[in-house]
Amino acid sequence: MENLVPEVLQGSIRAMAKLITLVENEDSRSLEFLGAIYPHTGKAHVLGITGSPGTGKSTLTDKITAVLRQRNQTVGIIAVDPSSPFTGGALLGDRIRMQRAFGDPDVFIRSMATRGNLGGLARSTTDVIKIMDAFGKDWIIVETVGVGQDEVDIVKAADTTVVVLAPGLGDTIQSMKAGVMEIADLYVINKADRSGADALVTEVRIRVEQDAQIKARPWQTPVLKTVAVEDQGTESLVEAVDHHRKFLEESGKLKKVRWEKTRQETLSLLKEEISRNVLEKILGNGRFDDLIDDIIANRKDPYTSVKEIVETLFSDE
């Protein structure tokens, strides 16, 4: 198979799309390619957009992209969709809501399926971020599926995380209390022309202030209002993201954030590789099926059996 890396680094959209497909399909050849492009990563700023369904994340992403393009900055968009129950692929509703960005040759949009991942991100999302980064995108926006308290994995991928809320959604504050509150670098109250928007802004700001009193943080999380469909407040939002990026760079926190992300990612890769090798060893000799027969017949139990297998695999003898 052709080496896609030089083409990706030279700006070939075809090669980038092809490499992303290999990564999504967990093709073994993709690991070599990812290793080769890794030294060329770390230049793009990764912006995470998350929040409950119906808050207007995709429209907001489209408007943010338009502002960035007015600055002549290139953008990669990863739209993490719910998996299709039939094919496992991504549903393409987000692309429909990003019509302006979709027609721009300097904007690359990729829809990815969560494929059963409860954290809201596909396992290969961070790999796709690296591919777009190495390709030369200035900004990479990851818009996640939005599933309430499970929607926290975005913080492992993004440099700046925007949590989008909207008035009239009964589960908004409940989901915030469940953990989404912890990951926000910026809050956006979208659809701010609706009834209840000001009350929601006040409620979120009170919660932010309470959180700041409990946990001393150098960054004060802003709460902004937008009406994305009318393109209102978008430029102010991008300016706030710029401010957070500047804060990360000047405070040295960007290096710390990326160090921790790299640590978590490497641990995840290590767990996957160990799991794959261990399972191959356990399942390869056919004895595992005999063990299941013994468990079904009540000659053994699964708890003791698993402990014995692990002790055998990792014994010093």
CATH at 90: 3.40.50.300
Q: Give me the count of residues in the chain.
A: 317
- Answer yes or no: do 50 and 183 share one domain: yes
Question: Above 90 in pLDDT, residue 154?
Answer: no
- Answer yes or no: do 158 and 82 share one domain: yes
- Count other C-beta atoms under 10 Å from residue 106's C-beta: 15
- Answer yes or no: do 77 and 223 share one domain: yes
- Answer yes or no: do 196 and 299 share one domain: no
- Answer yes or no: do 93 and 162 share one domain: yes
Average pLDDT of the segment spanning 6-35: 92
Domain residues for the domain of 67 are 41-251
How confident is residue 173, by pLDDT bands cut at 50, 70 and 90? Answer: low
What local confidence, expressed as pLDDT, does residue 208 receive?
Answer: 86
Q: 284 φ, ψ to 5°?
A: -70, -25
Average pLDDT of the segment spanning 200-218: 83
How confident is residue 27, by pLDDT bands cut at 50, 70 and 90? Answer: confident
Task: Determine, yes or no, domain membership for 54.
Answer: yes
What local confidence, expressed as pLDDT, does residue 89 receive?
Answer: 42
Task: Determine, yes or no, domain membership for 166.
Answer: yes
- Answer yes or no: do 128 and 187 share one domain: yes
What local confidence, expressed as pLDDT, does residue 114 receive?
Answer: 60
| Least confident residue range of 222-226, 251-255, 265-269 | 265-269
- Answer yes or no: do 178 and 142 share one domain: yes
pLDDT above 70: percentage of residues in the chain: 83
More confident residue, 233 or 150: 233
Task: Determine, yes or no, domain membership for 12.
Answer: no
- Answer yes or no: do 109 and 223 share one domain: yes
What local confidence, expressed as pLDDT, does residue 86 receive?
Answer: 37
How many distinct structural domains can be found in the chain? 2
Task: Determine, yes or no, domain membership for 8.
Answer: no
pLDDT above 90: percentage of residues in the chain: 52
Q: Where are the alpha helices (DSSP H) in the chain?
A: 5-9, 13-24, 29-37, 57-70, 93-96, 99-102, 125-135, 172-177, 197-214, 234-251, 253-283, 287-296, 302-313
What local confidence, expressed as pLDDT, does residue 268 receive?
Answer: 84
| Residue listed under structure tokens 């030369």 | 136
